[in-house]
Amino acid sequence: MTVRWLLARGGFLLVLGGFLFYAVFPFYYALISSLESGSGLFEPSVLPRSATIGNYAAVFGEQPFARSILNSFMVAVGTVAATLFLAALAAYALGRIRFRGRRGVLFTVLTISMFPQVAVLSGMFELIRALGLYDTLPSLMLSYLILTLPFSIWVLTAFMRELPDEIEEAAILDGASRLTVLTRILAPLIAPALVTTGLLALIIAWNEFLFALTFTLSAEARTVPVAIALISGSTQHELPWGIIMAASVIVTVPLLIIVLLFQGRIVSGLTAGAIKG
């Protein structure tokens, strides 16, 4: 309890406070702005002066925003399901079965995640057109796998590797097939990692903009990020910030709730593996 201790403590809190401000303030500001009306928007303040839900009503009134939310939801869920299924299968092979070229495959997977999205855009577009998926939700699920699979496979492979061989061998002696070993024994043991990668995939799929803009055209297939970008004012020179902010809040809140719900599992996912079953 010396001066040094106080300084260290104070410094730590200061850094923490700064970081918190940096992370949370934009969202707070969006929340405030979404509750303002008219010209109030352009006079910055920390506390809202008026609180109207006019902007929120406008979000749903001026376009099929509910439809966009539903689309985003379906795309996100589909992407997460496909990601976890494929990544778990791949991780089982890459993490637990010895075969020639295993490292090569792992590094190829890593390389894929290094391409910028624009670089694959035109090729992906051709693929989606060829498959007849243009302007449909599956086109987005398919393209998002490029973004979600590489890190999911890497994380799950690392976790699979940590599991002791003998547990798997015990299951094989018990007469379990490979698929049963994966679903009944290994997957439950890496559940925290599945939750963590699933959440990251969910966030990516929910927020993705470029693919969604390119591969969909109609309002029926539009997802939330695109819908927000397309919100326009009554004249060309007016940006309806209030409505955009309201829309942003609407789509951020469910994500926040989900992440907070799974928070405990995420933390254990990031630190597990050190503990032996």
The residues of the shown chain that bind another protein, judged by CB under 8 A, are: 164, 166-167, 169-176, 180, 184-185, 188-189, 277
Q: What are phi and psi of 86, to 5 degrees?
A: -65, -40
Q: Between residues 172 and 213, which has the closer beta carbon with respect to another protein? A: 172
* DSSP 8-state secondary structure symbol assigned to residue 4: H
> Closest distance between another protein and the C-beta of residue 143, in Å?
35
Burial category of 136 from C-beta neighbours within 10 Å (exposed 0-12, middle 13-18, buried 19 and up): middle
C-alpha distances in angstroms, 135 versus 63, 128, 138, 200? 18, 9, 9, 25
Q: Between residues 133 and 185, which has the closer beta carbon with respect to another protein? A: 185
Q: Between residues 120 and 172, which has the closer beta carbon with respect to another protein? A: 172
> Closest distance between another protein and the C-beta of residue 185, in Å?
6
Angle subtended by helix axes 102-112 and 137-162, to nearest 10: 140
> Closest distance between another protein and the C-beta of residue 104, in Å?
21
> Closest distance between another protein and the C-beta of residue 146, in Å?
32
Q: Between residues 129 and 184, which has the closer beta carbon with respect to another protein? A: 184
C-alpha distances in angstroms, 223 versus 54, 212, 215? 22, 7, 11
Quick one: tokens of 139? 């086109």
